[in-house]
């Protein structure tokens, strides 16, 4: 894998974020992972964890206000679930990647090699840090406009496809709607020692196995199996 060489053109990043920063140091902090400072003691700016903390709160308020106004008929519990789906790690990391934030990340060489789940977390956290930086440097309205532009278009799909539900709940509803059958789950394999076990679970409609999923717990494997089953069936609510 080629070594990650970050793009240092902050004006390009400002263009992506839609704001020219008065304080470039805040912007630089937003894209700096803690690990980078361990390898670059000469850096005079902070990592992004404090901005992430701030951005998380701003993001929650902006998303809550938007959903509250958009869906006046939805109860609190459903709004909470929709908000969680809109601002979870998968959603935020995918948005960061689509925006091209990945190329600006300042990380240690070790972190830069990881393209899996760890990178997802870094990208999601960086999105929140960018929100925090926009709020600090430009104010609430600019931060809210950035969130609306990049996240809110996902809302209709989340609601229409009921993506706010966990996969097991969603597959059970769909299975009952389409077949009037309640899915059942069965562990079909487990491997590894007790402290590092991986379970494979099958999801069935009556005796027909629809899909399988793997996980470090049976619950995790069941959720993955349900997700695969929805895809396999091609069901849409």
The pair of structure tokens assigned to 67 is 């959903």
Residues 206 and 103 in one domain: no
Residue tagged active-site, from 52, 56, 137, 222: 56
Residues 17 and 110 in one domain: yes
Residues 69 and 148 in one domain: yes
Residue tagged active-site, from 128, 137, 224, 227: 128
140-162: pLDDT as tens digits: 999 999 999 999 999 999 898 77
Range of the domain at 222: 167-233
Where residue 33 falls (left for φ over 0; alpha for ψ -120 to 50; beta otherwise) is beta
User: Bridge partners of 211?
Assistant: 203
The pair of structure tokens assigned to 175 is 């299975």
The total domain count for the chain is 2
Q: Is 128 a catalytic residue?
A: yes
Helix (H, G, I), strand (E, B) or coil at 143: helix
Residues 34 and 127 in one domain: yes
**Cα–chain center distance at 156:** 17
How far apart (Å, rounded) are the C-alpha atoms in residues 88 and 85? 5
Tell me which DSSP letter residue 188 carries.
Answer: E
Contacts of 41 (CB under 8 A, 6+ apart): none
**Average pLDDT for residues 16-39, to the nearest whole number?**
92
Residues 176 and 145 in one domain: no
Q: What is the distance in angstroms between the CA of the first residue and the CA of the last residue of the chain?
A: 41
HEC assignment per residue over 24-45: HHHHHHHCECHHHHHHCCCCCC
* pLDDT above 70 (res 3): no
* pLDDT above 50 (res 223): yes
Residues 20 and 46 in one domain: yes
Residues 171 and 127 in one domain: no
* pLDDT above 60 (res 205): yes
pLDDT-based confidence at 22, cuts 50/70/90?
A: very high
pLDDT score, position 195: 81
- Asked if residue 42 belongs to a domain, the reply is yes
What percent of the chain is modeled with pLDDT above 90? 63
């Amino acid at each position: 894998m080629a070594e990650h060489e970050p793009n240092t053109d902050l004006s390009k990043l400002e263009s992506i974020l839609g704001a020219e920063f008065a304080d470039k140091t805040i912007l630089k902090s937003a894209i700096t992972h803690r690990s980078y400072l361990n390898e670059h003691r000469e850096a005079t700016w902070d990592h992004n964890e404090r901005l992430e903390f701030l951005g998380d709160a701003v993001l929650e308020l902006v998303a809550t206000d938007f959903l509250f106004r958009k869906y006046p008929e939805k109860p609190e519990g459903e709004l909470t679930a929709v908000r969680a789906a809109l601002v979870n790690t998968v959603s935020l990391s995918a948005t960061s990647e689509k925006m091209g934030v990945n190329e600006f990340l300042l990380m240690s060489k070790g972190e830069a090699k990881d393209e899996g789940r760890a990178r997802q977390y870094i990208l999601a956290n960086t999105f929140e840090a960018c929100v925090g930086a926009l709020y600090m440097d430009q104010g609430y309205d600019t931060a809210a406009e950035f969130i609306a532009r990049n996240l809110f278009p996902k809302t209709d799909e989340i609601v229409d496809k009921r993506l706010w539900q966990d996969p097991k709940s969603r597959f059970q509803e769909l299975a009952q709607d389409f077949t009037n059958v309640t899915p059942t789950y069965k562990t079909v394999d487990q491997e590894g020692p007790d402290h590092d076990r991986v379970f494979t679970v099958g999801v069935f409609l009556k005796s027909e196995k629809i899909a399988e999923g793997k996980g470090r717990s049976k619950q995790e494997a069941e959720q993955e199996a349900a997700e695969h089953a929805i895809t396999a069936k091609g069901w849409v609510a």
